[in-house]
Structure 1
Amino acid sequence: MSSLFFSLTSLTSKDGRADVVANDAGDRVTPAVVAYRDTEQIVGIAAKQGRVRNAANTVVKVKQVLGRSYDDPETQNHRTETKCQVVDKQQKPYYEITVGEYPQYVSPEDVAKLILHKMKETAQSALGSDVTDAVITVPFEFAQAQKRALRDAAEAAGFNVLRLIHEPAAALLAYNIGQDSSSGKSHVLVYKLGGTSLSVTVLQVNGGIFRVLSTHTDHSIGGESFTQALAQHLAAEFKRTFKYDVSENARAMMKLMNGADMAKHSLSSLGSANCFVDSLHDGMDFECNVSRARFELLCSSLFNKSIQPIRPLLEKAGLSTSSINKVVLCGGSARIPRLQQMIRELFVDVELLSSAPTDEVIAVGAALQAGLLVGRESLAPEEESVTVDVSAIDLLVKEVDESGAEMFTVLLPSGTPLPARKHHTMTGAGKLSSVCLEIYQGCVMEHPEKLAKIILRDLQPSEENHNIDAVVTMKRDGSVHVSCVEQSTGRSEAITIAAAS
């Protein structure tokens, strides 16, 4: 028996440590987004990025309504914010999905079940064995009805839920806070800025016992707030350049949100980021470079709002900033350098714990909790070891440039950890009625071997170039999946290349 430990991130236990497991797209964190289509449901990054075309049937922020009644204020806030229609059925919220001949009504628990089942598949793919047990983290403010709904969804997805633990406690476990035998009280502040909410919690730690002194949660700010601010800036830049306002165009703004989200992530490690959006309006592409300084200026009010609750929360607990012994950062947006700087300035002589990836800290804590519950000594050595597969050879795409010369681009170089995903954009002359994409493996200088060819046919002639979005995914077993979409028409083709035996 293997166990899964996660907070929307799959993990396994390895030599007493927690190891984050990548999903089949090569990402270590899976967005809690579900898209409903005619014949399938899609979970994760593909669903998130596909909101441009399928917003009305894409569910986001389901945690906000899980276990709540339709009349609950949080449900009503969610109903006004989401593009997917929420309706009242027997005083419970349901999502109205319109992908077939008749509308379907999906409960938040059903959405959560799909997300959790995706986690189960991810862990089983990594371990090569069945996964049954799970430790699941929940926000501290989750009521019993919300916990019960999440547990029911997990059990429906095939899990045996060992325990539900609070996110702040998981964050402390991840850094081994309070796990030694030393006596004496200490105070820890857990600061979490996730995609959709801010949560700040002050805990007292005494000999392995955690006691929450005060907590604050704000659903009006999160990582998406920063993405939105950057997207609005990009819209203003587009208006300044092209004299057209796209801010009221939902599809265009969704494209800008996707571009802004990627740029925001880049700015956490780089001084500037380039944002490129295909066919933003009337066939016009948009490209804009954003510096980290500009991003920080655009979001200055959001940064202030993000740290504003800290002092009142400490006062409520009868503490000052100097009373805090450690600050733990978690949540994806807590990696933003400017935010970390502001927190350091607030806690001048306090240890700021941010060595672990902030979007994985809580999941790691859940893994360690599970290790304590199942007993590490019960894990056989072969179960503790998780090998990392890598690609053995370069994976390339062949295109033809404007002069007609063949051109190879390395998508996945040899040694890339698997699974892995690569996005690639190619163009074809507008006069063409079909565009061909060829996938090769090997070294460019040594006549690479052709693996597959995809042809997008019946394209409409246009004065603009055809823009083709290609996504290439290589799984752990070496199999390759390639999908192509022509931006203007949505015409798509896909192919799977089996791994060599």
Structure 2
Amino acid sequence: MSVPFGFDFGNNNSVIAVARNRGIDIVVNEVSNRSTPTLVGFGMKNRAIGESAKNQQNSNIKNTVGNLKRILGKNFTDNDVQIESKYFTSPLIDLNGKVGTKVRFLGKQTEFSATQLAAMYLNKIKQTTAKEVKGIIKDICVAVPVWYTEQQRRALADAAIIAGLNPVRIVNELTAAAVGYGVFKQNDLPEDKPKTVAFIDIGHSSYSVSIVAIKRGELKVLGSASDKHFGGRDFDIAITEHLADEFKSKHKFDIRTNPKAYNRVIQASEKLKKVLSANSEAPISIESLMNDVDVRSHLKREELESLVQPLLEKVPAPVLAACEAAGIKPTDVDTIEVIGGTTRVPAIKAKLIEIFGKKLSFTLNQDEAIARGAAFICAIHSPTLRVRPFKFEDYNPYSITYFWEEDQEDVDHMEVFGKGASYPSAKLITLYRSKDFQIGAKYTNVKELPKGTPEILAKWNIKGVELEEGAESISCRLKLRLDPSGLVSVDKAYTVVEKLVKEEVINPDAKEDDEPVFKEVKKLVKKNDLVITGEFLALPDQLRSELIEHENSMVMEDKLVADTEERKNALEEYIYDLRGKLEDIYAPFASQEEKDKLSDMLLKTEDWLYDEGYDTTKARYIAKYEELASIGNLIRGRYLAKQEEERQSSKSKQEAKRAQELAEKIAAERKSKNDNDGDVNMTEELD
């Protein structure tokens, strides 16, 4: 039975939440953190993903890849890719038109697509979740930015499938947060007239706003807007550039020429930014940054706000755009719910208060609200969990037009799902056709999209059109759909024909004994279903299967490396443990010959472990361990036997002592009773 879980796919850190019968829980990773770094690293033997990638990032910076969220599903020619390239320490490359990266893995240069990198990370997330919940992990709901295009959503779905997951829904991040708000705060919501809530999320790399009409049991997203290039990392870069200039002037070196040094300053700048969110000034200190020079500096909050003033001027635009899309003014909003780590910056809070003219609300967990909402949405789709009924409609950010070849119609296209339309949604259209045909979907306004975004979303071949005898065409009805994940589809296609059918004429004055009266009327009735085959922006089935196989083989290799390292550590630990005990608690239980032989074996194995055996196979570590254990376990067995003997002896003595104490107690009670009886008899005689 699969445990449904929600995933907040963050650019810097990601959060996992699982839905259980008692509620929504956040999943902690292997080091008990509630969020996991969105990083994938590559080494000489294996991959390092999440926390392990973060730990080795500085020492392996050219082979550690982050910012996966920003390049997933992107063409290499996209403007966004060129902008993002400055945030990557591994080179971005063109892989058959899509963006990928080149790293050194297993001792050779290897290329991976963004979809493969996302799949690797999702596989790690799946393993972490399965270990935590001790159950099967299959169904996932992933939260993504509202500006994700069809191609990006398809790429994410492909990545999930490669990782062995079933993406039941891809939901907009703020919609997920709004669902969590609506479900867990139902008692605070009105039942009739909806409450207008602005949800604002400023994270590591982007800034989004959604205006939502919400009441008990349902919500509708009225408008959304985003700034894809505004987030916490921009603040970190501003601080880093300021410090780079300072260090260049003071220490005569430029950290911009050294990726490792620059990355260390970015990490220190991020911590400095967080400290300045709660304090008026903060120091910064980094040991051996470059040329074995230790650096120190400090920054005041006013200085930081001066550095990021160009960024602060961009804060109003998404709010105003979202309100305009919703048809309201910022002052019309009832509540402003704020999430995302960057919203902790005081200058941003002050700017938002100025825009809305009212206080901000922080009732949602700023780091976990999206994951919790996504987990609830995944639970809605689960057949094994019962959840509160909650209806919600998402916001379509890009207008979508369906097109076809002209035949009997005067037009060859139609805008079916407009910008700002709610989804999931379905529309029924009718085309008159004389033969099999093709229909496609595309973005209506290419100028609204980032340069390089594919215009065509999908094409479908419709087959099985059969004409009536003597007819020149037939009516074909198609159900067009924008599904819950925001993906286009043609759900159904069938032909209808006009036929004469008999219908009873309803006569209100008729008596019970009157014969029913029928008349013939012309009606459109379904003739037959048509066959639909589609071409999407997703990976071809064969390529996806190959990538699944490749990912599974890398998982097995990673497991083998981890198991080998575990066996190596176990052998090393056994050597030191056995040597210490042989000279201590095991000493009385081993002959001198055994001690000499075992000590010699321990010394030789230790020398082998740090020389020839430093990098060998799992089987050899096991063999060396068992060789030592063949003698060590004999001595240990004697020691444990003696311990058990002493334990039993001690137990027998304690039982004998308790029996003796009980007997003495009984004897004392009898003596006391006899003495009391004697006193009574003496009293009777005197009377």
Establish whether TM, by shorter chain, passes 0.5.
yes
> Aligned AA for 1:157?
A
1:124: which partner in 2? Answer: 130
CA-to-aligned-CA distance 1:6-39 (integer Å, 9 cap, x gap): 2131112356542222211332111222111121
Deviation at 1:168, TM superposition (A): 1.6
Report the AA paired with residue 340 of structure 2. Answer: G
Give the superposition deviation at 1:72. Answer: 3.0
User: 4+ residue runs of structure 1 moved beyond 6 angstroms?
Assistant: none
Whole-angstrom CA distance in 1 between matches of 2:77 and 2:317: 30
* Deviates most, 29-38 or 208-217: 208-217
Partners of 1:149 and 1:55 in 2: how far apart? 26
Contact 1:330 1:358 in 2 (8 A): yes
Equivalent AA in structure 1 for residue 180 of structure 2: A
- Aligned ranges for residues 39-438 of structure 1 at < 5 Å? 39-48=45-54, 50-79=56-85, 81-176=87-182, 182-205=191-214, 208-349=217-358, 352-374=360-382
Q: CA deviation at 1:271?
A: 4.2
Q: AA paired with 1:3?
A: P
1:95 shift after superposition: 1.5
Change (3 A) 1:363 1:377: closer
Deviation at 1:65, TM superposition (A): 2.5
SS at structure 2 position matched to 1:353: coil
d(CA) in 2 for partners of 1:280 and 1:108? 31
CA contact (8 A) 2:337 2:363 kept: no
- Sort the Cα spacing of 1:126 and 1:333 in 2 relative to 1 into closer, same or farther, 3 A: same
Q: Contact conserved, 1:135 with 1:367, CA < 8 A, in 2?
A: yes
Q: Match of 1:358, as an amino acid?
A: Q
Q: Secondary structure at the match of 1:74?
A: helix
SS at match of 2:222: strand
Tell whether the 8 Å contact from 2:182 to 2:216 is kept in structure 1 after alignment. no
Q: Supply the distance in 1 between the matched residues of 2:22 and 2:120 (Cα, whole angstroms).
A: 30
1:209: how far off? Answer: 4.5
Q: Report SS of the residue matched to 2:4.
A: strand
Structure number with higher relative contact order (C-alpha < 8 Å, ≥ 6 residues apart): 1
> Whose helix proportion is higher, 1 or 2?
2
Amino acid at match of 1:362: I
Residue in 1 aligned with 2:37? 31
1:163-199 alpha-carbon deviations (Å, 9 max, x no partner): 2221121111222279567122332222111111122
Q: Tell whether the 8 Å contact from 1:49 to 1:258 is kept in structure 2 after alignment.
A: no
Alpha-carbon distance in structure 1 between the residues aligned to 2:24 and 2:344: 20
Taking the aligned partners of 1:30 and 1:148, their CA distance within structure 2 comes to 24
How much does 1:222 deviate? 1.2
Whether the 8 Å contact between 2:4 and 2:375 is mirrored in structure 1 is no
> C-alpha separation between the residues in 1 aligned to 2:103 and 2:286?
28
Any conservation in 2 of the 1:31–1:48 contact (CA below 8 Å)? yes
Equivalents in 2 of 1:127, 1:188: separation in Å?
Answer: 34
1:410-489 correspondence to structure 2 within 5 Å: none
Q: Can you list the C-alpha shifts for 1:337-388, whole angstroms capped at 9, x where unaligned?
A: 33123212322335x3323331211111112223333378569xxxxxxxxx
Cα distance change on mapping 1:84 and 1:197 into 2, 3 Å: same
Kindly provide the amino acid, as one letter, of the partner of residue 30 in structure 2. D
Distance in 2, Cα, partners of 1:376 & 1:324: 38
Match of 2:620 in 1: none
The answer on whether the counterparts of 1:188 and 1:327 sit within 8 Å (CA) in structure 2 is yes
Q: Report how far residue 324 of structure 1 moved.
A: 1.0
8 A contact 2:119–2:163 mirrored in 1: yes
Give, as a single letter, the amino acid of the residue that structure 2 aligns with 1:285. Answer: D
User: In 1, are the aligned partners of 2:338 and 2:364 still within 8 Å (CA)?
Assistant: no
Q: Secondary structure at the match of 1:176?
A: helix
Q: Return 5+ residue gaps in structure 1 as ranges.
A: 380-457, 459-501
Residue by residue, what CA displacement relative to the aligned partner does 1:258-293 show, whole Å, maximum 9, x if unpaired?
A: 111122233334444332212112101123333434
Cα gap change, 1:301/1:71 in structure 2, threshold over 3 Å: closer, same or farther? closer
Q: Give SS of 2:5's match.
A: strand
The match for 1:3 is 4
Q: Greater Rg, structure 1 or structure 2?
A: 2
Q: Deviations over 1:62-117 (max 9, x none)?
A: 22222233333333433465332222232222212234453211111111111111
Instruction: Determine if contact 1:16/1:371 at 8 Å carries over to the other structure.
Output: no
1:498 paired residue number: none
Per-residue deviation, 1:208: 4.5
1:46–1:236 distance in 2 versus 1, CA, 3 Å? farther
Quick one: distance in 2 between partners of 1:220 and 1:322?
Answer: 26
Separation in 1, partners of 2:246, 2:71: 36
Question: C-alpha separation between the residues in 2 aligned to 1:116 and 1:205?
Answer: 32
Q: 1:16–1:376: 8 Å Cα contact kept in structure 2?
A: no
State the alpha-carbon separation in 2 of the partners of residues 75 and 236 from structure 1. Answer: 27
- Counterpart for residue 454 of structure 1: none
Shift in alpha-carbon separation, 1:345–1:232, aligned structure 2, 3 A: same
Change over 3 Å in CA distance of 1:100–1:42 after alignment to 2: closer
Q: Give, in whole Å, the separation in 2 of the partners of 1:242 and 1:94.
A: 37
Match of 2:30, SS state, is: coil
Aligned residue number for residue 463 of structure 1 = none
Q: Which amino acid aligns with 2:41?
A: A
Secondary structure in 1 matching 2:223:
strand
Cα distance in 1, alignment partners of residues 258 and 62 from structure 2: 15
In the alignment, structure 2 segments of 5+ residues that lack a partner are: 9-13, 388-609, 611-687
Kept after mapping to 1: 8 A contact 2:42/2:103: yes
By how many angstroms is 1:319 displaced? 1.6
Quick check: 2:244–2:256 contact (8 Å CA) kept in 1?
A: yes
User: Quick one: which amino acid aligns to residue 320 of structure 2?
Assistant: R
The structure carrying a bigger strand percent of its residues is 1
- State how far apart, in whole Å, the 1-side matches of 2:108 and 2:244 are: 36
Change (3 A) 1:227 1:353: same
- Whichever residue aligns with residue 123 of structure 1, its letter is T
The two structures, once aligned, show a CA RMSD in angstroms of 2.8
Q: Percent identity?
A: 27
